[in-house]
Amino acid sequence: MKPHSREWYSKIARELGTYDHPWKRHTDGPDPELIYDALLSNLIAGGMWVLEAGCADGKDAARFGSYAAAWTGYDREEEFIKIARQKVPQAAFAVWDGKSELSMMLRGPYDLVVSRRGPTSVIDHLPEVAAPEARFLYVGPTLDSPRVPDKLSAIGWTILGEWHTRVRTWLPTEEDDRARSEFLGEDHDPERWQAESEVRGRMYWEERQTILAAAK
C-alpha cells in the first residue's frame, strides 16, 4: 500500500486512530516542527476563527483550539473526524477532501488557515474561505511538491517568512530503520544499516519547511 495514499490513511485511522511516526528516534536538538508551534502560538488570538486542513484526529485542535474563538478542522478520513469530535467536542469538524463542494460550515471567513503536514490543496480555496487580512501557516517535509510558494503567489498572497529547519536524528535500532523505510514507501536496506549504524544507531536528517503567508 502506497504511503500517504487514501487507503493508507484509512488504514491508519481505523487501526491506530491517530497519526504518528511509528519509529523511535533521538534528535540532537529541538524538533524542527517547533517553529510551526511557535508561529501558531504567536498568531492565534481570542476572537479568531481558525481553519485546519488535514486535522486527522484533532491533536492540534486539542492543543491550540481553546486560544481561538472558533477552531474548525477538516479531513477526508471519516474515521479520524469521528475520533476528533469525541476528543475535542468544543471544536467543529467536517469530512471534506478539498475537491467536492465547500459546505456552509467551512466557508468562514477564517482569520487563520493552518496545515500541519496536511493537504496543500487548501491553498486553492483560500480566496473563498479566508478573511481579508488572514494568514496561512503550513509545515511539511517539503515545499516542492506541489510548490507551496508558487501556489500562494498564484492567488496573490504574500509570503512573510520561510523557515527551513533540520536536525540530526538517530534511529536507535534496525527495527526503527525498517519502520521508517516502510513509512516512506522504501524497501528496508540491511546493508545500509550495517554500514552506517553507530553506537547511537543510524543517523538521518529530520527536515521541515514552514511557511507563513498573508492575504495582503
**Would you count residue 98 as binding ligand SAM (CB under 6 A)?**
yes
**Would you count residue 56 as binding ligand SAM (CB under 6 A)?**
yes
- Which of 31, 62, 87, 121 is in the footprint of ligand SAM by CB under 6 A? 121
Report in angstroms how near the CB of residue 199 gets to ligand SAM at its nearest: 31
Cell numbers given for 113:
488557515
**HEC per residue, the chain:** CCCCCHHHHHHHHHHCCCCCCCCCCEECCCCCCHHHHHHHHHHCCCCCEEEEECCCCCHHHHHHHHHCCEEEEEECCHHHHHHHHHHCCCCEEEECCCCCCCCHHHCCCEEEEEEECCCCCHHHHHHHHEEEEEEEEEEECCCCCCCHHHHHHHCCCEEEEEEEEEEEEEECCHHHHHHHHHHCCCCCCHHHHHHHCECCEEEEEEEEEEEEEECC
Report in angstroms how near the CB of residue 106 gets to ligand SAM at its nearest: 11
Report in angstroms how near the CB of residue 36 gets to ligand SAM at its nearest: 9
- Residue 138 has a CB neighbour count (10 Å cut-off) of 23
Report in angstroms how near the CB of residue 191 gets to ligand SAM at its nearest: 29
Q: Spell out the residues 6+ positions from residue 11 whose beta carbon is closer than 8 angstroms to its own.
A: 1
- Which of 39, 50, 51, 54 is in the footprint of ligand SAM by CB under 6 A? 54
- Which of 32, 65, 108, 119 is in the footprint of ligand SAM by CB under 6 A? 119
- Which of 28, 78, 97, 162 is in the footprint of ligand SAM by CB under 6 A? 97
**Would you count residue 24 as binding ligand SAM (CB under 6 A)?**
no
Which CB sits closer to ligand SAM, 55 or 130?
55
Judged by CB under 6 A, the number of residues near ligand SAM is 17
Closest CA to 102 of 80, 126, 120, 78: 126
Report in angstroms how near the CB of residue 74 gets to ligand SAM at its nearest: 6
- Give the residues across from 137 on adjacent strands: 114, 212
**Would you count residue 118 as binding ligand SAM (CB under 6 A)?**
yes
- Which of 11, 76, 82, 188 is in the footprint of ligand SAM by CB under 6 A? 76
**Would you count residue 19 as binding ligand SAM (CB under 6 A)?**
yes
Which CB sits closer to ligand SAM, 49 or 80?
80
Q: Which residues bind ligand SAM (CB under 6 A)?
A: 9, 19, 54-56, 59, 75-77, 80, 97-98, 116-119, 121
